[in-house]
Structure formats: C-alpha cells, structure tokens
C-alpha cells in the first residue's frame, strides 16, 4: 500500500467511526466508497502480479567486451482489470546502475521491449528485468514482483590485444628445437632396419649380428618446450569499478598471451583457479579458451606465492614462465627471481594504474637486473 492508500484508509476508518457514533449515513457512504476503492486497487494489482509473465531473448549469447547486443523482453498479463504503466528496473550491464523503464500492459496483449545490452566488463551477465513495480490506476496500492524462471545468460568475452612473442630459454627456442634435433639420443624407443643415410652410431651391432642384417635404434622425439602462464587473483573488490577493470585486464592479458602463442605454434598451458579448476592450453579452440576465462570466478585461495611455489616443481620442462599479477611484494619478487635462475625465461605482466609508482620501482629494478622481462598493463577505461 502506498502513502496515498494509507491516508485514504485512515480517512475511511475515521468516517466509519463518525458514522457509527452519530448513526448518520452522510459519513457511512464515503467510508464505504473509500474502502471499495482500496479493494479495487488491491484486486487489480494482485491479479496483474499473479498473471504477469516475462520472456527474455538475446540477439547474441556471446560478445566481446565493449560490444553491444540486442535484448528483447516480452511481457504478458491475463488480468482483465487495468493498472497503471509498469515500472521495470532493468539490469543491462555489469557494474552499472539499473535502468528504469515504463510500459503499458493491456489484457490479452503482449508488450515487447527492445533494449541494448553493453558488455562493459568481462564475465557472465544475466540481463533482463531485475524487478517490476505494479501500481493501480489511483496509485493506492503498489506491488513489487521479481521475475522467476530462466533468465538470459550473456557471456562477455575478453578482448585480446597485441603482445610480443615469448622468448624461451637458451636451447629452448620453440620450434627451433625440432629443427636442430629430431631425436632424443638418451631415450631409445624401438628398433628398425637400416636405411641409407642412417649414422653409424645408431646401429645396434649385437642385434644386427643376431638378425643377420643391419638394425638401427629409434629414439623418442623431444617434446617442444612449454610456456606456462600463471595468473594472480584481483586484489581489489569485484564490486567496485576499479576492481572490475583490474579483473578485465588480468583476463584479457592471459587471453592475449595464450592466443598469440597458439598462433605461433608454441605449446602454452595455464592452470586456471576457479570453482571448477582446469588447465587451459594452446590445443584448445580459441572460443573455448575465451569462454573459460570469461567464467573464471577467482575463488578465495591462499597467497599467490603459494601458487608459484607449487608450480616451481614443474620448471624442468618449462621454457618460459609468464606471471600476470596486479600487485608486487618482496616475497613475490624473490620467488620470481628464483624461478628465473632455474632456467626458463620469465615475463611479468604488471596490472597497475600507476606504472611510475615509486614504491614498486625498486622491485622492478631487481627483476630487470635478474634478466626478468617486465611489461605494464593499464586497465582500460570504462567503455
């Protein structure tokens, strides 16, 4: 009930009191009229809420950050009592205040609204009607309804940008390894008959004497060096604009590195910490990589130093390590220098609003002196 309805109810009660006290119908008739108005207001809003349905449909279920897509909202009410125009609170973008729209709903007719949804930030968005306010024609009664059922789900994918190719450790220069050596002489795999041009050192003399023919050893082909991408969790609150921008920068930097190295035919993998942990790799399709990054929810985990300590156990087969983070500490710098000394090259992508921050410059100098590559990424402005 609105304030106007409360005042009307108060007047009706006062008139009823006067009518029963004096026995005069002069007070009774307006009191009954006011009560009937309140009853009609309640009944019209009740029937509209009970019969009101919403249907939402997206023009495109996936867009890149900064792009738009169409949203169609269809409303249908089977109530035969008219109500005031509905007030719809629409959620059309993440991190943006809800927009308020009004529309008329007539008995037996569908009302269709066409809206534009903007992909402001990377992530899963459920655009549509957040809640609807139904008011009677006199403004005496007001009801608020939240649509139920399935809602439209929009994936706002990261927007990759250009990055430089990774530099592998000496002796692990990506595809050059396969050009220089096609077999690992320390891992014999099988034997085969001698072919013209085979080097003499591969001949298995004892087996050749036994079989009365020349037999050579076959060796395993060496695997290409891998690049490993390690991404930190955002340190700012995801409910703030800066927190959302940092999250976008983290995900888009990871996407840029993965997709660029995939085009270069380099093997890249990235352990993704989320509610459903998984490992992204360059063997996946581009769309699948972007979708998994879009759905990353960054659960509460331990310090990033623990993740680095866990991954250092697999440094033996790594030719390059990429670390993406939005903060630097002394312990983190020490661990990165230690990883660099283990052999693989290391590239740091630092997500920061102030690249010239004097507090982080000494740590940057330490990393550069240890031959670690440092790249700055500034979170994008609100699109």
| DSSP string over 8-36 | HHHHHHHHHHHHHHH--HHHHHHHHHHHH
Strand 318-325 to strand 226-231: parallel, antiparallel, or no bridges (unpaired)? parallel
- pLDDT (tens, 9 = 90+) of the chain, 383 residues, equals 888 888 888 888 888 888 888 877 788 888 889 889 989 889 988 888 888 888 888 888 888 988 888 888 888 888 888 888 888 888 877 655 677 887 887 777 788 888 888 888 888 888 888 888 888 888 888 888 888 766 788 888 999 999 898 888 765 444 444 333 344 444 455 677 877 767 777 788 888 888 888 888 775 544 557 888 888 888 767 667 888 888 889 999 999 999 998 888 888 888 887 777 788 888 888 889 898 888 888 776 667 777 777 777 766 677 888 999 988 888 888 888 888 888 788 999 999 888 888 888 999 999 999 988 999 998 876 65
Distance CA 162, CA 78 (A): 54
- Helix ranges (DSSP H) in the chain: 3-22, 25-51, 176-180, 205-211, 241-263, 286-294, 304-311, 330-341, 361-369
Domain covering 1-157, topology: Immunoglobulin-like (2.60.40)
- Domain 226-377 class? alpha beta
Q: φ and ψ at 310, to 5 degrees? A: -70, -40
Distance CA 82, CA 59 (A): 32
Torsion angle of alpha carbons 357, 359, 365, 368, nearest 10°?
-70
- Contact by Cβ (8 Å): 355, 361: no
Please report, for the chain, the start and end positions of each structural domain, with discontinuous segments joined by +: 1-157, 183-219, 226-377
pTM: 0.73
Residue 218: which residues within 8 A CB-CB, separation 6 or more? 183, 188, 189, 190, 191, 192
Q: φ and ψ at 203, to 5 degrees? A: -75, 130
């Amino acid at each position: 009930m609105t304030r106007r309805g409360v005042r009307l109810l108060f007047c009706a009660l006062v008139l009823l009191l006067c009518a029963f006290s004096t026995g005069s119908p002069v007070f009774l008739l307006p009191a009954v009229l006011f009560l009937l108005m309140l009853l009609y207001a309640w009944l019209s809003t009740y029937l509209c809420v009970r019969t009101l349905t919403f249907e939402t449909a997206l023009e495109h279920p996936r867009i890149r950050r900064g792009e738009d897509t169409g949203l169609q909202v269809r409303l249908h009410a089977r109530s035969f009592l008219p109500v005031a125009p509905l007030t719809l609170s629409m959620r059309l973008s993440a991190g943006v205040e809800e927009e308020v729209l009004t529309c008329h709903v007539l008995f037996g007719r569908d009302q269709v609204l066409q809206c534009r949804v903007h992909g402001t930030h990377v992530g899963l968005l459920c655009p549509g009607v957040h809640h609807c306010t139904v008011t009677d024609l006199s403004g005496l009664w007001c009801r608020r309804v939240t649509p139920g059922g399935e809602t439209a789900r929009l994936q706002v994918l990261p927007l990759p940008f250009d990055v430089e190719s990774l530099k592998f450790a000496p002796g692990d220069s990506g595809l050059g390894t396969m050009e220089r050596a096609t077999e690992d002489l320390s891992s014999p795999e099988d034997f085969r008959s001698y072919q013209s041009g085979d080097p003499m050192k591969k001949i298995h003399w004892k087996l050749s004497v036994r079989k009365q023919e020349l037999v050579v050893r076959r060796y395993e082909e060496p695997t290409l060096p891998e690049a490993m991408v390690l991404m930190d969790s955002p340190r700012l609150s995801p409910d703030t604009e800066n927190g959302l921008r940092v999250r976008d920068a983290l995900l888009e930097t990871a996407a840029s590195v993965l997709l660029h190295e995939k085009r270069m035919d380099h093997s890249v993998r990235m352990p993704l910490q989320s509610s459903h942990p998984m490992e992204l790799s360059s063997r996946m399709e581009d769309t699948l990589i972007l979708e998994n990054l879009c759905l990353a929810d960054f659960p509460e985990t331990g310090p990033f130093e623990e993740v680095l300590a866990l991954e250092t156990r697999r440094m033996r087969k790594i030719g390059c390590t990429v670390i993406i983070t939005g903060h630097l500490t002394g312990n983190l710098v020490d661990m990165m220098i230690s990883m660099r000394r283990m052999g693989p090259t290391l590239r740091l992508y630092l997500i920061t609003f102030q690249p010239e921050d004097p507090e982080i410059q000494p740590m940057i100098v330490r990393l550069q002196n240890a031959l670690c590559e440092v790249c700055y990424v500034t979170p994008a402005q609100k699109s």
